[in-house]
Amino acid sequence: MDEIGLVLERVAVSQTARMVVPPPDMVIGTLRRRTTVRMVASSALVVAMIVMFVLALAGVGLASEIVRPSEQVAALAVATR
Amino acid sequence: MTGAVDSHDGGFESFYSAHYRPLVRALVPIVLDPHAAEELTQEAFLRAYREWAKLSEYDDPRGWLYRVAMRLAISRWRRMRAAAAALSRYGPTRVVEEADELSMCVLAALRNLPLAQRQALVMHHMLGIPVAQIAADLGVPVGTVKARLSRGRSALAPVLADLRQVSVHG
Protein backbone atom coordinates (compact mmCIF):
# COMPACT_ATOMS: atom_id res chain seq x y z
CA MET A 1 0.00 0.00 0.00
CA ASP A 2 1.35 3.45 -0.92
CA GLU A 3 1.28 6.68 1.09
CA ILE A 4 -2.26 7.68 0.10
CA GLY A 5 -3.51 4.18 0.82
CA LEU A 6 -1.86 4.16 4.24
CA VAL A 7 -3.33 7.55 5.13
CA LEU A 8 -6.80 6.48 4.00
CA GLU A 9 -6.43 3.24 5.96
CA ARG A 10 -5.36 5.14 9.06
CA VAL A 11 -8.36 7.46 8.80
CA ALA A 12 -10.70 4.50 8.33
CA VAL A 13 -9.20 2.64 11.29
CA SER A 14 -9.49 5.69 13.54
CA GLN A 15 -13.14 6.06 12.57
CA THR A 16 -14.03 2.44 13.21
CA ALA A 17 -11.97 1.80 16.32
CA ARG A 18 -15.04 1.30 18.49
CA MET A 19 -17.00 -0.61 15.90
CA VAL A 20 -18.46 -3.92 17.00
CA VAL A 21 -19.03 -6.46 14.25
CA PRO A 22 -22.65 -7.62 14.51
CA PRO A 23 -23.23 -11.38 14.33
CA PRO A 24 -24.06 -12.75 10.85
CA ASP A 25 -27.42 -13.88 12.26
CA MET A 26 -28.41 -10.25 12.32
CA VAL A 27 -27.90 -9.90 8.57
CA ILE A 28 -29.75 -13.14 7.88
CA GLY A 29 -32.53 -12.14 10.26
CA THR A 30 -32.95 -8.83 8.42
CA LEU A 31 -33.15 -10.67 5.11
CA ARG A 32 -35.79 -13.05 6.46
CA ARG A 33 -37.81 -10.18 7.91
CA ARG A 34 -37.68 -8.35 4.57
CA THR A 35 -38.75 -11.46 2.69
CA THR A 36 -41.67 -11.96 5.09
CA VAL A 37 -42.76 -8.32 4.78
CA ARG A 38 -42.55 -8.52 0.99
CA MET A 39 -44.55 -11.77 0.97
CA VAL A 40 -47.24 -10.33 3.27
CA ALA A 41 -47.44 -7.18 1.16
CA SER A 42 -47.84 -9.09 -2.10
CA SER A 43 -50.41 -11.46 -0.53
CA ALA A 44 -52.37 -8.47 0.78
CA LEU A 45 -52.33 -6.97 -2.70
CA VAL A 46 -53.64 -10.19 -4.26
CA VAL A 47 -56.38 -10.47 -1.60
CA ALA A 48 -57.36 -6.83 -2.13
CA MET A 49 -57.58 -7.38 -5.89
CA ILE A 50 -59.75 -10.49 -5.44
CA VAL A 51 -62.07 -8.62 -3.05
CA MET A 52 -62.36 -5.73 -5.50
CA PHE A 53 -63.12 -8.16 -8.33
CA VAL A 54 -65.84 -9.90 -6.30
CA LEU A 55 -67.34 -6.55 -5.30
CA ALA A 56 -67.32 -5.42 -8.91
CA LEU A 57 -69.07 -8.65 -9.99
CA ALA A 58 -71.62 -8.24 -7.22
CA GLY A 59 -72.19 -4.64 -8.31
CA VAL A 60 -72.80 -5.69 -11.89
CA GLY A 61 -75.16 -8.45 -10.71
CA LEU A 62 -77.14 -6.05 -8.55
CA ALA A 63 -77.36 -3.52 -11.35
CA SER A 64 -78.77 -6.12 -13.74
CA GLU A 65 -81.32 -7.13 -11.07
CA ILE A 66 -82.45 -3.56 -10.52
CA VAL A 67 -82.67 -2.49 -14.16
CA ARG A 68 -85.11 -5.01 -15.59
CA PRO A 69 -85.77 -5.26 -19.28
CA SER A 70 -88.62 -2.97 -20.46
CA GLU A 71 -90.71 -5.91 -21.77
CA GLN A 72 -90.68 -7.48 -18.35
CA VAL A 73 -91.79 -4.19 -16.80
CA ALA A 74 -94.63 -3.83 -19.36
CA ALA A 75 -95.80 -7.42 -18.74
CA LEU A 76 -95.81 -6.80 -15.01
CA ALA A 77 -97.85 -3.64 -15.50
CA VAL A 78 -100.41 -5.50 -17.62
CA ALA A 79 -100.63 -8.28 -15.07
CA THR A 80 -101.14 -5.81 -12.27
CA ARG A 81 -104.08 -4.23 -14.09
CA MET B 1 -34.36 -13.88 14.46
CA THR B 2 -32.50 -17.13 13.96
CA GLY B 3 -30.30 -18.71 16.56
CA ALA B 4 -27.26 -19.48 14.46
CA VAL B 5 -26.27 -19.45 10.84
CA ASP B 6 -27.65 -22.61 9.26
CA SER B 7 -25.29 -25.35 8.22
CA HIS B 8 -26.38 -24.97 4.58
CA ASP B 9 -24.97 -21.41 4.60
CA GLY B 10 -21.59 -23.09 4.10
CA GLY B 11 -18.79 -20.61 4.57
CA PHE B 12 -20.91 -17.47 4.78
CA GLU B 13 -20.12 -16.92 8.42
CA SER B 14 -16.37 -17.05 7.89
CA PHE B 15 -16.67 -14.87 4.78
CA TYR B 16 -18.67 -12.38 6.82
CA SER B 17 -16.21 -12.39 9.73
CA ALA B 18 -13.23 -11.96 7.42
CA HIS B 19 -14.60 -9.09 5.35
CA TYR B 20 -17.04 -7.12 7.49
CA ARG B 21 -14.50 -4.84 9.16
CA PRO B 22 -12.27 -4.29 6.08
CA LEU B 23 -15.32 -3.39 4.00
CA VAL B 24 -16.55 -0.85 6.54
CA ARG B 25 -13.04 0.61 6.59
CA ALA B 26 -12.94 0.85 2.80
CA LEU B 27 -16.28 2.64 2.78
CA VAL B 28 -15.49 5.18 5.50
CA PRO B 29 -13.24 7.41 3.34
CA ILE B 30 -15.85 7.23 0.57
CA VAL B 31 -19.05 8.02 2.45
CA LEU B 32 -17.27 9.95 5.24
CA ASP B 33 -19.62 8.57 7.85
CA PRO B 34 -18.80 5.40 9.81
CA HIS B 35 -22.46 4.70 10.55
CA ALA B 36 -23.42 4.97 6.89
CA ALA B 37 -20.42 2.78 6.02
CA GLU B 38 -21.73 0.11 8.40
CA GLU B 39 -25.23 0.31 6.95
CA LEU B 40 -23.89 -0.10 3.43
CA THR B 41 -21.72 -3.01 4.54
CA GLN B 42 -24.70 -4.77 6.09
CA GLU B 43 -26.75 -4.22 2.95
CA ALA B 44 -23.92 -5.62 0.81
CA PHE B 45 -23.70 -8.70 3.04
CA LEU B 46 -27.45 -9.09 2.90
CA ARG B 47 -27.25 -9.26 -0.87
CA ALA B 48 -24.26 -11.61 -0.64
CA TYR B 49 -26.23 -13.94 1.61
CA ARG B 50 -29.14 -13.93 -0.84
CA GLU B 51 -26.75 -14.95 -3.64
CA TRP B 52 -24.54 -17.13 -1.48
CA ALA B 53 -25.29 -20.40 -3.25
CA LYS B 54 -23.79 -18.91 -6.42
CA LEU B 55 -21.19 -16.68 -4.76
CA SER B 56 -19.68 -19.45 -2.68
CA GLU B 57 -18.52 -21.08 -5.91
CA TYR B 58 -16.66 -17.94 -7.03
CA ASP B 59 -12.88 -17.82 -6.77
CA ASP B 60 -13.12 -14.37 -5.22
CA PRO B 61 -16.52 -13.56 -3.71
CA ARG B 62 -14.83 -10.60 -2.02
CA GLY B 63 -14.63 -8.81 -5.39
CA TRP B 64 -18.38 -9.20 -5.85
CA LEU B 65 -19.03 -7.92 -2.33
CA TYR B 66 -16.88 -4.82 -2.82
CA ARG B 67 -18.45 -4.08 -6.21
CA VAL B 68 -21.92 -4.23 -4.68
CA ALA B 69 -20.83 -2.04 -1.78
CA MET B 70 -19.36 0.55 -4.15
CA ARG B 71 -22.58 0.64 -6.16
CA LEU B 72 -24.57 1.00 -2.97
CA ALA B 73 -22.33 3.91 -1.97
CA ILE B 74 -23.10 5.61 -5.28
CA SER B 75 -26.84 5.02 -4.85
CA ARG B 76 -26.69 6.42 -1.34
CA TRP B 77 -24.81 9.46 -2.59
CA ARG B 78 -27.51 10.03 -5.25
CA ARG B 79 -30.22 9.82 -2.62
CA MET B 80 -28.27 12.18 -0.37
CA ARG B 81 -27.77 14.61 -3.22
CA ALA B 82 -31.51 14.65 -3.78
CA ALA B 83 -31.99 15.47 -0.11
CA ALA B 84 -29.05 17.88 0.03
CA ALA B 85 -31.18 20.98 0.11
CA ALA B 86 -33.01 19.78 3.18
CA LEU B 87 -29.85 18.52 4.88
CA SER B 88 -27.93 21.74 4.26
CA ARG B 89 -30.25 23.48 6.71
CA TYR B 90 -28.79 21.29 9.44
CA GLY B 91 -25.15 21.86 8.53
CA PRO B 92 -22.57 19.40 7.20
CA THR B 93 -22.99 15.63 7.43
CA ARG B 94 -22.42 13.97 10.77
CA VAL B 95 -18.93 14.66 12.04
CA VAL B 96 -17.03 11.53 12.85
CA GLU B 97 -16.35 10.62 16.44
CA GLU B 98 -13.00 10.87 18.13
CA ALA B 99 -10.92 11.60 15.07
CA ASP B 100 -7.23 12.34 15.64
CA GLU B 101 -5.67 15.42 14.08
CA LEU B 102 -4.39 13.57 11.02
CA SER B 103 -7.75 12.00 10.39
CA MET B 104 -9.49 15.34 10.74
CA CYS B 105 -7.16 16.93 8.15
CA VAL B 106 -7.56 14.06 5.71
CA LEU B 107 -11.32 13.90 6.23
CA ALA B 108 -11.61 17.64 5.61
CA ALA B 109 -9.67 17.23 2.36
CA LEU B 110 -11.76 14.21 1.36
CA ARG B 111 -14.97 16.10 2.08
CA ASN B 112 -14.02 18.59 -0.64
CA LEU B 113 -13.66 15.82 -3.22
CA PRO B 114 -16.55 14.42 -5.25
CA LEU B 115 -17.59 10.89 -4.31
CA ALA B 116 -16.31 9.48 -7.60
CA GLN B 117 -12.79 10.72 -6.82
CA ARG B 118 -12.87 9.41 -3.25
CA GLN B 119 -14.07 6.08 -4.58
CA ALA B 120 -11.30 5.88 -7.16
CA LEU B 121 -8.67 6.77 -4.53
CA VAL B 122 -9.92 4.13 -2.10
CA MET B 123 -10.29 1.41 -4.72
CA HIS B 124 -6.87 2.01 -6.22
CA HIS B 125 -4.68 3.13 -3.32
CA MET B 126 -6.33 1.41 -0.37
CA LEU B 127 -7.70 -1.75 -1.93
CA GLY B 128 -5.01 -2.05 -4.60
CA ILE B 129 -7.45 -2.62 -7.47
CA PRO B 130 -5.91 -1.96 -10.92
CA VAL B 131 -7.27 1.02 -12.89
CA ALA B 132 -8.72 -1.18 -15.64
CA GLN B 133 -10.60 -3.28 -13.08
CA ILE B 134 -11.99 -0.15 -11.39
CA ALA B 135 -13.16 1.12 -14.77
CA ALA B 136 -14.89 -2.19 -15.46
CA ASP B 137 -16.46 -2.34 -11.99
CA LEU B 138 -17.79 1.21 -12.16
CA GLY B 139 -18.73 1.04 -15.83
CA VAL B 140 -16.65 4.06 -16.85
CA PRO B 141 -13.74 4.44 -19.30
CA VAL B 142 -10.19 3.85 -18.04
CA GLY B 143 -9.34 7.47 -18.82
CA THR B 144 -12.10 8.66 -16.50
CA VAL B 145 -10.71 6.61 -13.63
CA LYS B 146 -7.21 7.95 -14.31
CA ALA B 147 -8.53 11.52 -14.34
CA ARG B 148 -10.39 10.96 -11.08
CA LEU B 149 -7.28 9.51 -9.47
CA SER B 150 -5.15 12.36 -10.70
CA ARG B 151 -7.56 15.03 -9.41
CA GLY B 152 -7.95 13.19 -6.14
CA ARG B 153 -4.19 12.92 -5.63
CA SER B 154 -3.77 16.62 -6.46
CA ALA B 155 -6.41 17.55 -3.91
CA LEU B 156 -4.79 15.41 -1.22
CA ALA B 157 -1.24 16.49 -2.07
CA PRO B 158 -1.18 19.59 0.20
CA VAL B 159 -2.49 17.53 3.14
CA LEU B 160 0.08 14.81 2.55
CA ALA B 161 2.84 17.43 2.29
CA ASP B 162 1.72 18.91 5.63
CA LEU B 163 1.72 15.47 7.18
CA ARG B 164 5.23 14.79 5.90
CA GLN B 165 6.40 18.09 7.38
CA VAL B 166 4.77 17.32 10.70
CA SER B 167 6.38 13.89 10.82
CA VAL B 168 9.79 15.37 9.94
CA HIS B 169 9.62 18.24 12.47
CA GLY B 170 7.57 16.73 15.14
What does the pLDDT read at residue B106? Answer: 85
Q: Among B20, B102, B121, whose Cβ lies nearest the Cβ of A10?
A: B102
Check if the beta carbon of residue B135 is closer than 8 Å to that of residue B141: yes
Q: What does the pLDDT look like over B110-119, one tens digit per residue?
A: 888 999 999 9
Check if the beta carbon of residue B59 is closer than 8 Å to that of residue B39: no
Q: What does the pLDDT look like over B39-64, one tens digit per residue?
A: 999 999 999 998 888 988 888 889 89
This complex has an ipTM of 0.75
- pLDDT for B170 beyond 80: no
Is the CB of B29 less than 8 angstroms away from the CB of A31? no
Q: Does A36 touch chain B (CB under 8 A)?
A: no
Helix and strand element counts for chain A (H, E): 3, 0
- pLDDT for A51 beyond 90: yes
Confidence of residue B168 (pLDDT cuts 50, 70, 90): low
- pLDDT for B91 beyond 60: no
**pTM for this structure?**
0.71
Higher per-residue pLDDT: A17 or B27: B27
Phi-psi region of A22 (alpha: psi -120 to 50; beta: other; left: phi over 0): beta
